[in-house]
Every structure is written in C-alpha cells, then in structure tokens.
Amino acid sequence: MAVPKKRTGHSAQGKRRSNWKATKPTLTTCPNCGQAVLAHTVCTACGTYKGKPVRLKDQAAAAATEVKEAKKPRKSTKKAKAEAPAEEAPKAEEVKEAEVVEEAKAEEKAEEATEDKAE
C-alpha cells in the first residue's frame, strides 16, 4: 500500500481545499401557497409537490372534491320543474336576529316579574 513519504503541510493542504465551497440551495416558490421551498421537495406549509397533494389526508380530501365535481347534476326534467322547491334553511343573520328578539322578550318578562314582586 502506498504511504506518503512526508507529511502534507498546512499551506499545501489549504491550497488543495480552497475550492471546497458550500453552495446555496436552490429555492422555488410553492405553486399552491407561494411559500419558499427547496427545489424537488414537498412544501412543508401545505404538503403539496408540483401542485398535487402528497399527504394522505390531503389526497383523500382532493379525491373527495374530484368525485363531487365529477357528479354534476343532470338536466332538469319537467317533473323537477313542476315540483315546488324545498324551503331553504334560514340564513345566519336571520337566526341571530331571531335570537336577539327572543332574548329581549325574555328580559322584558323578567323585568315585569320583578316589578310585580316589588308592588
């Protein structure tokens, strides 16, 4: 086996290693969330790679939305037009207003009860 005859000096060793430089990693932006991501890696913020979900949870959610999009309603028939549309659920604002009115009525009853007791 080859063995060096003399030890390499510090300056010679440093000159040889002068080109050993660290390079900056290339960064790209995630097409889904726009965060800076290392090239060819999964985005840590949203879990996508090349715009597609990689996590199992995200894949299941994406598959569910694709199925919903695939099942589009068919053209309406005469029977569907003739039937009366079902009542829609009340909007959140209407529900809040109804709750406020009910609370005001309850407060008025409580005030009347305290006035009756005082008399």
pLDDT in tens, 93-109: 777 777 878 888 888 88
**Predicted local distance difference test score (pLDDT) of residue 38:** 93
CA dist 51 and 28 (Å) reads: 13
How confident is residue 8, by pLDDT bands cut at 50, 70 and 90?
A: very high
pLDDT of residue 51: 82
Measure the CA–CA gap between 93 and 80, rounded to whole angstroms: 30
What confidence tens digit (pLDDT) does each residue in 55-98 have? 777 677 777 776 666 666 666 666 655 565 555 666 667 777 77
Is pTM beyond 0.75? Reply is no
Q: Which two tokens stand for residue 47?
A: 């879990």
Can you give the pLDDT at residue 16?
Answer: 94
